[in-house]
A and B are shown apart, each in its own frame.
Chain A
Amino acid sequence: MKSRSRSLLLIVLIAGVVIALLAWAISFVLNRSGDASAQLTQQVTPELVRKGEYLARVGDCVACHTSHEGGKAFAGGLGIESPIGTIYSTNITPDQATGIGRWTYGEFERAMRRGIGHDGSALYPAMPYPSYAKTTDADLQALYAYFMKGVAPVEQKNKANDIPWPLSIRWPLAYWRSLFSPAPQASAGADAQTATTDDARIARGAYLVQGLGHCGSCHTPRALTMQEKGLDEQSSTYLAGAELNEWAVPAIRGIEHWSQEDLVEYLGSGRNRMASVAGEMKDVVANSTSHMTDEDLQAMAAYLKSLEADTERAYRHQPERSTATSDKLTAAKDLTLGERLYVDNCNACHFVSGGGASHVFPRLDGASVVNADNPSALIHVILAGAQTPSTERSPSILPMPGFAKRLDDSEVAELASFLRQGWSNGASAVDAEQVRKVRSLLSHDPVGERTLEASEAQ
């Protein structure tokens, strides 16, 4: 019996090893996708480099490929938390030794659209290549031209990822990619110049939102196997909201409570008549969307507005309820603790109406961040504060102070509960434990706009 089971074990082991070896071998084949030796088919002109610079803004490459600790633009080193450990972004400046200066266009294309590294290994999907797969050849060539000729080379060695063995084995990622990342595909909306009709504008918006914009990376929920549940409007879960680093990321399908113009203003300047950007999206606005043209922002907004909202929005404006709250705060008699804390701490800017002030102080009555099922983002803003990014369209930096030092967990819970149930808002109460959890995660990671340094050659 003993020897039989031992030999069975041996067979299973050998079979396992053989399958693994085979899988490993096949992964090399999978990683051969694309043509690493492909060359640019366009001449590198200043216009092409400029176009690439613009597209790099659309793709927000700088956000991940720049360290927050005073790192040089595109030199990498930013730690990105993942379930298996910390992945460090790489140096994508054209430095010959430590950057991508020696990469062919084909190698660049493979990394961008196929998730295959320079050395033929599979990239972690922290790099949003499932989205970038939609980028056209013409746009990729412009991006390549920019990274080779428009970016200043920075000598900075890549940092090794902080992922323990065996999770650090990369070749299984080739299978993940084959299963979940689409093959590069032609897109109808690639040409900004032709986006003149409504349909063409929506197509252009789809190209930007799904492709370089990679909005789904944060706004689409992920499956257990970590892929986004949908990569375009075919899926009703596409852009249906998610949770990221303890922050409730809103659904951006349809966005019924905002007009197309509201969306354009929000993306272009970080604020609109109802809201100001906060959280991770602040970085996105500062580094990416605020640099985009009005036409492209209109296209993105038109596309998002064209998506059908999959669930009915919980918030409905009820004038009597909103007025009742305003009146009670104005009278300031028999206030609950939450109401009193609001009057003392929030009312100066957001006012008794919870209406804030257009483009300056966010509206609280009806705000997504206030009404989200998950109150973590609201709690975070109360504790840590927020400030608008300085953008070309709206340069003012208008800070909201954090109240972490002024209010304890139960006070923040009372305040947040009032916000979520005052006026016409209708979300669940918050308890002190939820606040304690968010407070424990407060980081002091500086976020904000990075400075791009143009190469001397440009």
Chain B
Amino acid sequence: MSNITNDEVDVVVVGLGWTGSLMSIELAQAGLKVRALERGEDRNNADFTYPKPADQYAYGVRNKIMVTPKDGALTVRHSMRDTALPTRQWGAFVPGTGVGGSGLHWTGVLIRPTPTDIKLKTYADQAYTRGQLEEGMQIGDYPFTWEEIEPYLDKFDKICGLSGNTGNLQGRIIEGGDPFEGPRSSPFPLPALKDTLNNTMFADAARKLGYHPFPNPSANVSQAWKNPYGNQIAPCNYCGYCSKYPCLNYSKASPQTAVLDSLKRMENFSYRTNANVLRVDLHADGKTAKGVTYADAQGNEVFQPAKIVVLAGFQFVNVRLMLLSGIGKPYDPLTGKGTIGRNYAFLSVGGNTLFFKDKQFNPFATAGATGQMFNDISPGNFDGPSLGVIGGAKIHSSQATGTPIGTALPAGTPEWGQGWKESMNDWYGHSMKISISTGCMSYREHYVDLDPTYKDPWGQPLLRITFDWRQNELKLQQYLRGIVRDITKELGPDSFSESFLSMDSHWDITKYVSTHNVGGAIMGDSPETSALNRYLQSWDVHNVFVPGGNAFPQNFQANPTALIGALTLFSAQAIKEQYLKNPGPLVQA
């Protein structure tokens, strides 16, 4: 072990997943010397050639490309009164690691939030009377307008080869798409994926009941695509190895398929793997960072001097690094003061599984994003105020995979042995799902901080999550349960099973939900209530930028990747156009 100092760079990027690769290429294109530091292994398309990833046990069950709990554990508790315990295996969410990060194993559903979602506080103030919403709720607006962010959503759609139906083109509603989507400047780059039987059944029933279904917007691309960086994404072959898998067909937009081959050609870009950043080092006055310190594969402590530091890890990693480095003031739920760790939020899912003896859904021929959804139950589009809840859900029938382990079987089926085998034989491919995926508000007592007890292999405290379900989210689940039941009745299955949260449910971290953890270093208009300004720049240390889901003030019902990509591109543009000319706070507090 020794101390090493690297050559100085203009920008050090911590983490080489979606946000790290987007930041790297955008800033390298501006001529800056950029170096990315990735804690995990290097990964290339060649590592995932057919048929390597088609292995459910290795990838889907044993989490082959995820961070191990040893390297990425957190501690979790339901309330401030509890003692948090560390995650010794992954359950509700599964963070990635390595080059590509979670952008390698995401499913590929690339849907935008609505204009109301990004101005949720404004909507809440207008639509709800005081006292109608749950106490302790801390909703925020995103600090930009729809018109400001849309060009970056559009750019990210093109980077990913977004496939689907356009619903709102420059204000004109187009049939077949989502009529509730915000106006988009250009149509979807590629047509929708092919529909499966569950899609058409669900869409027909939903339409009959007055909803507005449309194909899940997909970054599993429907046709060969060359994106603005010149990278190529291959047409999807519907193999169904998407969520938790690297794509064996180069068909899912990921840092590997969409960015890295271009980026690696640039001489002013370099990256190091097995480089685990331990902290951001600040100058004595605490106002700017001078670089980062990482542990390399040999256990050396390496100082990487840089003029700009981009924290581009997963949400947990970014917030934890800010706390470990003294960037901003840690959030204190008792006083409501401090910003780092504030507004942690997750999401909930649920739904029905419908069994049909006589229908064959061929689940093995599908893409991760295959499905239809509707957005009628999102904020502003249904009568939330009369229910006393805010938030919403996408209601969808998706058929993400046909992998056998975990196939849905009718209630009462034995979990092993002859009975299980017979049921598997009878029912594999004979079920479809109607699912919900909800937004999740932020609350004063939901936050992340440094755990007082548990430490990582470098002796640094783990991040602690304090989170549980609240009445608002549970009431929303009950409401959605009714809608899903109505659609189920319309479809008339032979039998069905339900899975929804009840009003006394607590957050269960053992069952997989989705890796859409958000908040903790949120963006906003005020340094009193947010960690970052509209350009994802730290209010406190102006040469630190923190792109990622950490910036979401609360979680909306849409999947987060589209907005994460857009925020990153928006921030990169501000660095290029404004910060380089005049380094300092880009927004005056």
Please measure, in the bound complex, the distance between the C-alpha atom of A399 and the C-alpha atom of B235, giving whole angstroms.
15
Interface stretch (choices A102-110, A319-327, A356-364): A356-364
Query: Residues of A contacting B239 with CB < 8 Å?
Result: 348
Residue of A345, A385, A398, A401 touching B232 (CB-CB under 8 A):
A398
Given known pairs A360-B235, A360-B250, A390-B261, the reply for A395 and B49 (CB within 8 Å) is no
B45, A395: Cβ atoms closer than 8 Å: no
Say whether A434 faces chain B, with CB atoms less than 8 Å apart.
no
B49, A400: Cβ atoms closer than 8 Å: yes
Say whether B50 faces chain A, with CB atoms less than 8 Å apart.
yes
Say whether A97 faces chain B, with CB atoms less than 8 Å apart.
no
Quick one: closest B residue to A388, CB to CB?
A: B232
Chain A positions 395-425 with a Cβ under 8 Å from a chain B Cβ: 395-401
Query: Residues of A contacting B257 with CB < 8 Å?
Result: 396
- CB 8 Å contact bits of B33-50 with A (1 = contact, 0 = none): 000000000001110011
Looking at the assembled complex, report how far the CB atom of B322 sits from the nearest CB atom of chain A, in whole angstroms. Answer: 34
Please measure, in the bound complex, the distance between the C-alpha atom of A358 and the C-alpha atom of B250, giving whole angstroms.
14
- CB 8 Å contact bits of A378-396 with B (1 = contact, 0 = none): 0000000101001011111
A392, B46: Cβ atoms closer than 8 Å: no
Residue of A349, A361, A387 touching B46 (CB-CB under 8 A):
A387
Query: Residues of A contacting B46 with CB < 8 Å?
Result: 387, 397, 399
Say whether B513 faces chain A, with CB atoms less than 8 Å apart.
no
Quick one: closest A residue to B44, CB to CB?
A: A397
A349, B237: Cβ atoms closer than 8 Å: yes
Quick one: closest B residue to A449, CB to CB?
A: B265
Chain B positions 195-249 with a Cβ under 8 Å from a chain A Cβ: 223-224, 226, 229-232, 234-235, 237, 239, 248-249
Query: Residues of A contacting B261 with CB < 8 Å?
Result: 390, 395-397
Query: Residues of A contacting B237 with CB < 8 Å?
Result: 347-349, 351
Given known pairs A348-B50, A360-B232, A390-B264, the reply for A398 and B250 (CB within 8 Å) is yes
Looking at the assembled complex, report how far the CB atom of A100 sits from the nearest CB atom of chain B, in whole angstroms. Answer: 26
Query: Residues of A contacting B264 with CB < 8 Å?
Result: 390, 395
Say whether B170 faces chain A, with CB atoms less than 8 Å apart.
no
Please measure, in the bound complex, the distance between the C-alpha atom of A397 and the C-alpha atom of B237, giving whole angstroms.
19
A395, B50: Cβ atoms closer than 8 Å: no
Looking at the assembled complex, report how far the CB atom of B483 sits from the nearest CB atom of chain A, in whole angstroms. Answer: 38
Given known pairs A385-B49, A398-B232, the reply for A390 and B265 (CB within 8 Å) is yes
Please measure, in the bound complex, the distance between the C-alpha atom of A345 and the C-alpha atom of B248, giving whole angstroms.
12
Query: Residues of B contacting A345 with CB < 8 Å?
Result: 50
Query: Residues of A contacting B265 with CB < 8 Å?
Result: 390, 392, 395
Which among B44, B235, B239 has the greatest number of chain A C-beta atoms within 10 A?
A: B235
Given known pairs A387-B46, A401-B49, A401-B50, the reply for A394 and B235 (CB within 8 Å) is no
Residue of A348, A395, A397 touching B248 (CB-CB under 8 A):
A348
**Interface residue count on the A side (C-beta < 8 Å):** 23
Please measure, in the bound complex, the distance between the C-alpha atom of A138 and the C-alpha atom of B232, giving whole angstroms.
40
Query: Residues of A contacting B231 with CB < 8 Å?
Result: 395-396
Given known pairs A390-B264, A395-B265, the reply for A360 and B49 (CB within 8 Å) is no
Say whether B89 faces chain A, with CB atoms less than 8 Å apart.
no
Query: Residues of A contacting B230 with CB < 8 Å?
Result: 393-396
Quick one: closest A residue to B54, CB to CB?
A: A348
Say whether B407 faces chain A, with CB atoms less than 8 Å apart.
no
Residue of B44, B224, B262 touching A395 (CB-CB under 8 A):
B262
Please measure, in the bound complex, the distance between the C-alpha atom of A361 and the C-alpha atom of B239, giving whole angstroms.
16
Please measure, in the bound complex, the distance between the C-alpha atom of A339 and the C-alpha atom of B472, giving whole angstroms.
57
A358, B224: Cβ atoms closer than 8 Å: yes
A357, B49: Cβ atoms closer than 8 Å: no
Query: Residues of A contacting B44 with CB < 8 Å?
Result: 397
- CB 8 Å contact bits of A338-372 with B (1 = contact, 0 = none): 00000001011101000001111100000000000
Looking at the assembled complex, report how far the CB atom of B74 sits from the nearest CB atom of chain A, in whole angstroms. Answer: 35
Quick one: closest B residue to A349, CB to CB?
A: B249
Please measure, in the bound complex, the distance between the C-alpha atom of A400 and the C-alpha atom of B46, giving whole angstroms.
8
Please measure, in the bound complex, the distance between the C-alpha atom of A398 and the C-alpha atom of B257, giving whole angstroms.
9
B224, A399: Cβ atoms closer than 8 Å: no
Query: Residues of A contacting B224 with CB < 8 Å?
Result: 357-360
A399, B49: Cβ atoms closer than 8 Å: yes
B45, A397: Cβ atoms closer than 8 Å: yes
Query: Residues of A contacting B232 with CB < 8 Å?
Result: 359-360, 394, 396, 398
Please measure, in the bound complex, the distance between the C-alpha atom of A441 and the C-alpha atom of B10, giving whole angstroms.
48
Given known pairs A357-B224, A360-B224, A390-B265, the reply for A398 and B234 (CB within 8 Å) is yes
Please measure, in the bound complex, the distance between the C-alpha atom of A359 and the C-alpha atom of B223, giving whole angstroms.
11
Please measure, in the bound complex, the distance between the C-alpha atom of A398 and the C-alpha atom of B45, giving whole angstroms.
7
A361, B234: Cβ atoms closer than 8 Å: yes
Looking at the assembled complex, report how far the CB atom of B234 sits from the nearest CB atom of chain A, in whole angstroms. Answer: 4
Residue of A359, A390, A401 touching B226 (CB-CB under 8 A):
A359
Query: Residues of B contacting A361 with CB < 8 Å?
Result: 234
B234, A360: Cβ atoms closer than 8 Å: yes
Please measure, in the bound complex, the distance between the C-alpha atom of A387 and the C-alpha atom of B50, giving whole angstroms.
13
Quick one: closest A residue to B229, CB to CB?
A: A395
Quick one: closest A residue to B235, CB to CB?
A: A357
Query: Residues of B contacting A385 with CB < 8 Å?
Result: 49
- CB 8 Å contact bits of B491-530 with A (1 = contact, 0 = none): 0000000000000000000000000000000000000000
A349, B45: Cβ atoms closer than 8 Å: no
Looking at the assembled complex, report how far the CB atom of A326 sits from the nearest CB atom of chain B, in whole angstroms. Answer: 15
**Which residues of B approach A to under 8 Å, CB–CB?**
44-46, 49-50, 52, 223-224, 226, 229-232, 234-235, 237, 239, 248-250, 257, 261-262, 264-265
Q: 26 A-B Cβ contacts within 8 A?
A: A345-B50, A347-B237, A348-B237, A348-B249, A349-B50, A349-B237, A349-B249, A357-B224, A357-B235, A358-B224, A359-B232, A360-B234, A360-B235, A385-B49, A390-B261, A390-B265, A392-B265, A395-B264, A395-B265, A396-B232, A397-B46, A397-B261, A398-B232, A398-B250, A399-B46, A400-B49
**With A359-B232, A394-B226, A395-B229 given, can you name 12 additional A-B contacts, CB distance below 8 Å?**
A347-B237, A360-B234, A390-B261, A390-B264, A394-B230, A395-B230, A395-B264, A395-B265, A396-B232, A398-B45, A398-B250, A401-B52
- What are the 4 tightest A-B residue pairs by CB atom distance, in nearest-first order? A401-B49, A396-B232, A395-B261, A395-B262
**Which residues of A approach B to under 8 Å, CB–CB?**
345, 347-349, 351, 357-361, 385, 387, 390, 392-401
